Amino acid sequence: MTPAILVLNVGSSSVKFRVFAARDDLQLLADGRVTGIGAAPVFRLAGQDPKALEEGTTQTEAIAQVLDFVTASDHHWQLVAAGHRIVHGGEEFRAAVLLDEEVLARLDRYTPLAPLHQHHNLAAVRAVAELNPALPQVGCFDTAFHADHDPVTSSYALPASVRKQGVRRYGFHGLSYEWTAKVLAGQPGGMPKHVVVAHLGNGASLCALKDGNSIDTTMGMTALEGLPMGTRCGALDPGVVLYLQRSLGLSLEDVERLLHDESGLKGLSGGVSDMAELLHSARPEHAFAVDYFILRVAQKIGEMVVSLGGMDLLVFTGGIGENALSVRERIVSRLAFLPRFKVQVIAADEERMIASHALALISLSSG
């Protein structure tokens, strides 16, 4: 039997999973997902035909399907841990942790700060605990990689009485940036001193790496701040929110939906959030959305360069960063005024980073 680690990344309508061998090389054993949860669910496994699941399959039932697949006798895998991506760890959770109900109760407090993700992340942990109570589970946080930022970087210009309530910049996509730093450190010549990493996908942000450590990032207290994204607005004058409520009569729920689900590329283009579709379109509003995105990314890279005091390397990762050559080229072109720097593309692998943390924790707990 091969000891195996299941990595789960759970959203509102999907369960993405990978299975890794629980050894140092973390061999990938399986890669799949359940999509269409709540509508027409489909179990998809890399290299195999998709399988339709029963209509109305819940998130817990989808996770049960994944566990059944992993523990099927013909695989000869012994599941030893489940690792989870948890978006928000607040100030409290600065490294991966073993999960239990007491820890989950503390993590519930951060759900309002990541309403698109946190609830689903934690529900998945509880579902696995219900289905396999004896299985160790490990939580890995998108905020943890940024936990040591200087207060000058992590603070908002608000009174101390507010800042003491946890109102600060946390940053996200930390698992992606941690993986990128690990890849760079293992390359010939090692880690460059000043690196800006652009994680560009449906969610998008930047990170300033100095000697492999995060010293600044574009997302803030929530995953709304910073770059425009697929459906999220990015940086926005807070006065706009006041105006939307006070003068346009939008409710709190209306504003939340607008900023999270109807803005970004989708709002700019008139309904399209997918960069590949925008790039292949001749419609002027689609070109405008792409132009806006490229300008804002280049501008924010400039901010990261200031924090670093220079840039030796610009790394692109994420779905757009890895696959949209024209977007990369146009961003780099806008940075031509900077002293010469190298450009590299690194494939994101947050799941392998989670598996690495899970393996380390279960080894410690058993050793």
24, 108, 142, 254: which one is catalytic?
142
pLDDT digits (tens, 9 = 90+) for 278-332: 999 999 999 999 999 999 999 999 999 999 999 999 999 999 999 999 999 999 9
**In the predicted model, what is the mean pLDDT of the chain?**
96
183 pLDDT above the threshold of 80: yes
DSSP 53-73: PPTT--HHHHHHHHHHHHH-G
Compute the Cα dihedral for 218, 222, 224, 230 and give only its sign. Answer: positive
Which stretches does DSSP call E strand in the chain? 2-10, 15-21, 28-35, 42-45, 51-52, 77-86, 97-98, 137-141, 194-200, 204-210, 213-217, 313-317, 342-345
Please check the confidence at residue 209 and state whether its pLDDT lies above 90: yes
**Structure confidence by residue, pLDDT tens digits, 168-180:** 999 999 999 999 9
> Active site includes 68?
no
- Look at residue 28 and tell me whether its pLDDT is greater than 90: yes
Would you say residue 367 has pLDDT above 60?
no
Residue 246: its pLDDT value, please?
98
* Percent share of the chain, pLDDT over 70: 99
Banded pLDDT at 12 (limits 50, 70, 90): confident
pLDDT number for residue 38: 86
Question: Could you tell me how far CA 316 lies from the centroid of its own chain?
Answer: 14
- Determine the pLDDT at residue 58: 92
Which residues make beta-bridge pairs with 51? 43
Sorted by where each starts, the structural domains of the chain and their CATH numbers stand as: 2-141 (3.30.420.40), 188-345 (3.30.420.40)
Write down the pLDDT at residue 190: 95
Average pLDDT over residues 181-207: 97
Q: pLDDT category, 93, cuts 50, 70, 90?
A: very high
Q: 192: closest CA among 71, 52, 48, 313? A: 313
Best CA proximity match to 350, nearest among 141, 170, 185, 186 = 141
More confident residue, 367 or 20: 20
Percent of all residues in the chain with a pLDDT value above 90, rounded to a whole number: 95
Over 90: is that where the pLDDT of 350 sits?
yes
Contact 38/55 with Cβ under 8 angstroms?
A: no
Checking if the pLDDT of 366 tops 70, the result is no
The tens digit of pLDDT for each residue in 126-164 reads 999 999 999 999 999 999 999 999 999 999 999 999 999
Average pLDDT over every residue of 236-249? 98
Residue at 34: amino acid letter: V
pLDDT at 284: 98
CA dist 320 and 316 (Å) reads 8
**Global pTM?**
0.96
Question: In whole angstroms, how far apart are CA 234 and each of 13, 197, 257, 300, 303?
Answer: 23, 17, 14, 11, 15
